[in-house]
Amino acid sequence: MYRFWKNVIKPMFELCDTKTIVEIGAQNGYNTEKLIHYAIKKNGVVHSIDPFPNFEYKEWEKEYSPHFFMHTGLSLDALNAIEPCDAYLVDGDHNWYTVYHELNRIKDIVGNREYLVVLHDIGWPYDRRDLYYNPDIIPSEYRNAFLRKGIVYGQLELDEEGINGHLCNAIEINTVRNGVLTAIEDFLSENSEFEFMNIKCCNGLGIIKKRGTFNQVFDFLQDTGTLQTVIEMVEEDRLKIFQQRYTYKNQYDKALANYSKEKLTNEELKIQKNKVDEDNKLLIKEGKLLRKEFDLSQKEIELQNSKIELLSSEIELLSSEINLLKAENTKQKENELKKTEEIKQYKKMILKLGNNIEELREEGRRTRKEKRKIRKELDSILISRKYRYACYLSEILRNPYKIFLLPYKLYKILIKKNLSNVLVREEKSIDLGIAEKTTDTKSIQKTCEKFPEVLISDNYEIFSSKCVVNKVSVVVCVHNALNDVEECLCSLWGNRTFPYEVILIDDGSENETKEYLKEFTARTKCKLHRNEEAIGYTKSANIGLRLSQADFVVLLNSDTIVTSGWIEKMLMCFEKNPDTGIVSPFSNAATYQSIPETRDAVSGDWKINVLGDGITVEMMALIVEKASIRKYPKVAALNGYCFMIKRDVLDKIGYLDEESFPKGYGEEVDYCIRAVKAGFSLRVVDDTYIFHEKSKSFTHAKRKELGAASKPILKEKHGDTYRTIGGEMENNEELKVAREAVINRIDSLAQKFSSLHNKKIAFYLTAKGGSGGANSVCQEVMGMRRLGVDAYVLNSSNYRVEFEKNYPEMVPYVLYYDKKSDQSLLAAGKNFDIIIGTIFTTIEKLKIIKQAYPSIKTGYYIQDYEPYFFEKTEDYWKQAKESYTLIEGNCLFAKTEWIARTVNKYHGVKVNIVEPSIDTRIYNPFIIKEKEINESIKICAMVRPRTKRRNPEGTMEVLRMLKNTYQDKVCITIFGCGEEEIKNIKGDFEFDYTNLGVLRRWEVASLLAQSDLFLDMSAYQAFGRTGLESMCLGCIPILPEKGGTDKFAVNGENAIVVDTGNIQRTYYEICKLFDNTDLMYKMQRAGITTGQDYNIMNAAWSEIVLLGTM
């Protein structure tokens, strides 16, 4: 382009008084320097864009500041950072995609202003053929097939001898979306307001401008004087090339003559040298022969002289050697006998240790079952009439005046329904004093130690036909080993945050297991297929695979214990690696997927790792997740204990080979090899851990027998491919790195749990529930319990009924006290080592506990800046304001930086940050693949007239304006209050909407899943939980800019973040989204991705780490 500067480009710029210029493609800076000097004279600015500038641009930026700025990066990214300019020089990537999108991006940035675009290289060779400097940055749908071959003028095919053969050139020419000139023509055909002139010389120069603007430019270009100047420039270039051609030819001829002369002289010298060398060789050879003869004569004389001496000593040496060999042979025989005996002893020890390990594992199973039974019996006692009666009698002994309340108390106890059939899971008994512990049989289905809790929300249909969801089936094949099956299925249901379908295949189990599976199926509504006679694992697994129609199917051994988020993390591996067909996670016993060790150091057999002292399965799973580098190692085969298969694999290669491997063992290796041959990759999910018990369905000897039988079949089916698998797995560097990353951090992460070992923690929450803060506390308490921490909620008994309706799963872990009695509070509080307040009204009560029991450590989980709730004249304002400093040394923590900054600003105290949580059992961001946006857009909003900071008037006004504008194209649903409360809101809100009233969490989730937008017009939000929950379900939130929503919300990307005090502005921003469904779809996807970063276990972990430092 620099060849056009003097005669064409610079005069054009001067005619248009151009001051601000963008140069796309700076390369060596030849043209850049000319532009800078021009800009300095005009007091203008040059912005140069190039990913790899080949000049000292940093020095230029210093020297020419403020007239020059360098943007190192791709043009389509860099243009967004530059304000609109007067002219754009385009000489970067010479392909259709880049030029077409550069022109459109410039048009969008500049808008209605007048501007020039000057493009170079629009003629041969890249007018109708794409060039790719880096093909990977061009989207595949816009990238033409290419080769690294040159281009020859007048020839359609690429050629090794053509120009630019080192670059990636499109194979075809003159096709759609191919070439720079094609990109210009396509742009012009879509934008009729522009006109174009093509100067067809020196690889072509194009000028684009808006019609009716800069007419003097085209006049100048069409002027005969300008044309004459261009012709002279071309002729000058031609003459220079002509002159260079003869200069190069003369240099070549001269060099060729010198080479021929030197070659002749060198050949003559070489002949003479060869002759001399031959003569020298003959002389040297004769001298060597003479010397050799002399040396041989001397040696012969010496040998004859020494022979007599050697012969006499040899006899003595031979006799000594014979004696030594005899002694060594005797000693070696003794050592061999000793080693043989030692080997026998080691084998006996290994056999004994193996038996001991098996006995210990069986004892562990029995202990866990007995523990569950004891828990049940203990909980039955704790909720029995007798126990409550005894508690009250104990209280009368401490407070005799309460004997007058005895008749009333007996009446209450006697009319209570017997709840002994409800499982209340606690690690240890707590001396509750007069604190009450109750359950609600309407909220929790009947359970016992063998079965999981089944909540109302488990069977509640959240997703409508509007949502296209990921579907997962989990197939569990069962053959006896009931203890292991119970643990497996309880964990499978207890960790069902993803609504996967459970398919049980009973392969001829005995009656006890058969009846258990029937009962489990009746409770959970899962599928059950029974083989009356055992037909083997492989055939049973195939039955399960055929019963599933899901996108992904998991084959899960019945002796496993799954952990939190296991399905979601395996789905993420598929999402990040689209070529993947099968995945499997880490375990304690899964051959090459075992951690921390794969093989036993003594026997060399596959290791069955035992969890460390105090480490639970869930704790180990979180340690693996936190330590993982998420490398997702690509491997040659996977262990079949937990085998997640994509539907595409089943469609392409079918099912397991039940003919060759009817009983199992070898079928998963065979399936892996077949999947790889079909083009799929296999990966280990290195942030997921599942415990593998190694059950009694098969004995160890039987497993070895089946494994040995499968090897010849695999060799016959797959030959060298099978033979090399072991070596490939043993030497897989990616797998080693992923395993070592986890192993290196197991101990350090496990220590973070140790300080809370055997400690009881209470979150002091006085609420009926349903609010974002109460949701946080309850789900994080459950998360901490799953990680082995003894956590509870301490609540006032007057909230019990509503609280247990909102959180049926929390019933066993709530302690109630009488809010009118400090003695009742102290009786409950004394049982804990740590108590955390969760609302300002609990802090004064917490201080009472702290004064009575100084050893109890206290904290404050701040959900909001509560002084904002009240007027300064109210008593609650003063109480809320004092709560942050009321208890000296109180550990304060919150989930957003906004809360921390606000409290620190007004009170000068530090607030620690913990992670927020989302209950993925209800709001799971891994379920929805896409969401249909219909002609009638659905928007929902929570309206709380009694809470002014939630801005009920503003909420209803925005909804009214939307309804008036879009009529039948918008469907409005509100919730959170009754219709009578709506009528009390000031304003005229006579428009069509649906009011669902007060909803439970799962009902809110269902509404969000059916909606496109969620409106939150609050004056501020400390966190904005419902906004994040809506993202998880593909519903775009409209959120207040004031507060802590910036923890997760980014305006225009995954949410609309506005000044909710400005109703017109909020309405306008929502209208923009209504009018752009493509943007709505994009933001919904971004919101779902954001939601995937949040879950209960990460939040619970962050609190455990913090509380462990108290």
| DSSP-assigned beta bridge partners for residue 971 | 938
d(CA 1005, CA 1026): 9
Which residue stretches of 43-146 are H helix?
57-64, 75-78, 96-110
Q: How many other CB atoms are there within 10 angstroms of residue 412's CB atom?
A: 13
Residue matched to tokens 């860099």: 78
pLDDT attached to residue 237: 73
State the CATH class of domain 932-1101. Answer: alpha beta
Q: What is the pLDDT of residue 788?
A: 87
SS (H, E, C) 905-930: HHHCCCCEECCCCCCCCCCCCCCEEE
Q: Is the dihedral of CA 1040, 1045, 1051, 1056 positive or negative?
A: negative
Strand-pair category, 891-894 with 642-646: unpaired
Work out the average pLDDT over 126-151.
94
pLDDT bucket at 225, cuts 50 / 70 / 90: confident
pLDDT at 457: 62
pLDDT digits (tens, 9 = 90+) for 476-508: 999 999 989 999 999 999 899 889 999 999 999
Where is pLDDT greater, at 305 or 826?
826
Contact 646, 672 (CB under 8 A): no
Name, in order, each residue with C-beta under 8 angstroms of 35's C-beta and a sequence gap of 6 or more.
21, 23, 46, 48, 89
| Sequence-ordered alpha helix ranges (H) in 56-95 | 57-64, 75-78
Copy the structure tokens of residue 306: 């020494």
The pLDDT value recorded for residue 701 is 54
C-alpha to C-alpha distance for 130 and 125, rounded to whole angstroms: 9
Start-to-end CA distance of the chain, whole Å, equals 68
pLDDT number for residue 990: 87
Half-sphere exposure of 716 (CA within 13 A, CB side): 7
Please tell me the number of Cα atoms within 13 Å of 488 on its side-chain side.
28
Average pLDDT, the chain: 86
What pLDDT digit, counting tens, does each position of 311-331 carry?
667 667 776 777 777 777 778
Residue 902: what pLDDT? 97
What would the CATH number be for the domain defined by 755-913? Answer: 3.40.50.2000
Distance CA 70, CA 74 (A): 12
The pLDDT of residue 359: 66
The answer to whether the beta carbons of residues 816 and 433 sit under 8 Å apart is no
Residue 588, pLDDT above cutoff 50:
yes
Q: pLDDT category, 260, cuts 50, 70, 90?
A: confident
60 contacts 30 by C-beta, under 8 angstroms: no
By DSSP bridging, strand 857-862 and strand 891-894 are parallel
Q: What is the rounded CA–CA span in Å between residue 783 and residue 131?
A: 55
Residue among 804, 806, 805, 857 nearest 829 (CA): 857
Name the more confident of 440 and 956.
956
pLDDT tens digits, one per residue of 713-766: 888 888 888 889 988 999 999 999 988 988 888 888 888 888 888 899 999 999
Check: CB of residue 1073 under 8 Å from CB of residue 1081: no
Of 76-80, 372-376, 566-570, minimum mean pLDDT range: 372-376
The two tokens of residue 348 are: 């006996």
Is-contact 1002 1027, C-beta < 8 A? Answer: no
- Residue 264: which pLDDT band, with cuts at 50, 70 and 90? low
pLDDT score, position 1080? 94
Give start and end residues of each alpha helix (H) in 383-536. 385-398, 406-415, 482-494, 511-524
Sequence-distant (6+) residues with CB within 8 A of 823 are: 399, 434
User: CA 235 from chain center: how many Å?
Assistant: 61
984 φ, ψ (degrees, to nearest 5)? -85, -5
470-741 shares its CATH topology with 932-1101:
no
**Check: CATH 3.90.550.10 for 470-741?**
yes
Q: Which tokens go with 547?
A: 């019963």
Would you place residue 441 in the very low, low, confident or very high pLDDT band (cuts 50, 70, 90)?
very low
pLDDT band at residue 698 using 50, 70 and 90 as cut-offs: low
pLDDT at 446 over 50: no
Confidence check: pLDDT of 380 > 60: no
> Confidence band (pLDDT; 50, 70, 90) for 439?
very low
Residue 241: pLDDT band with limits 50, 70, 90: confident
> By mean pLDDT, which of 446-450, 563-567, 601-605, 978-982 is the weakest?
446-450
Distance (Å, rounded) from C-alpha 263 to C-alpha 267? Answer: 6
Q: Could you read off the pLDDT of 160-169 as tens digits, one per residue?
A: 889 999 899 9
Bridge partners of residue 586, in order along the sequence: 689
Token representation of residue 960: 């009214």
In this predicted structure, the answer to whether residue 857 has a pLDDT above a threshold of 70 is: yes
What pLDDT shows up at residue 707?
A: 60
Contact indicator for 87, 177 with CB cutoff of 8 Å: no
pTM, whole model, 2 decimals? 0.63
Lowest mean pLDDT among 296-305, 915-924, 1056-1065, 1069-1078: 296-305
How many C-beta atoms surround the C-beta of residue 319 within 10 A?
Answer: 9
> pLDDT tens-digit profile of 520-535?
999 999 999 999 999 9
Burial class (CB in 10 A: 0-12, 13-18, 19+), 775: buried
Per-residue model confidence as pLDDT tens digits over 808-846: 888 889 999 998 999 999 999 998 999 999 999 999 999
The CATH code of domain 2-222 reads: 3.40.50.150
By three-state DSSP, how is residue 474 classified? strand
Per-domain boundaries in the chain: 2-222, 385-415, 470-741, 755-913, 932-1101
Percent of the chain exceeding pLDDT 90 equals: 61
Residue 395: per-residue pLDDT: 62
DSSP H or E run through 253: helix 224-382
Who's near 647: CB < 8 A, 6+ residues apart? 550, 551, 552, 553
For residue 12, give every residue at least 6 positions away whose Cβ sits within 8 Å of its Cβ, in sequence order, or none.
18, 116, 118, 207, 217, 220, 221
Tokens of residue 1043, six digits: 């507060």
Model pLDDT, residue 438: 36
CB burial class (10 A; 0-12, 13-18, 19+) of residue 999?
A: middle
Contact 1002, 922 (CB under 8 A): yes
The pLDDT score that the predictor gives to residue 192 is 94
Task: Compute the distance between CA of residue 1050 and CA of residue 66 in angstroms, rounded to an integer.
Answer: 32
- Higher-confidence position of 696 and 420: 696
Buried b (16+ CB within 10 A) or exposed e, 117-137: bbbbbbbebbbbbbbbeeeee
Give the confidence band of 444 by pLDDT, cuts at 50, 70, 90.
very low
Confidence band for 374, pLDDT divided at 50, 70 and 90: low
756-799, pLDDT tens digit by residue?
888 999 999 999 987 878 989 999 999 999 888 999 999 999 99
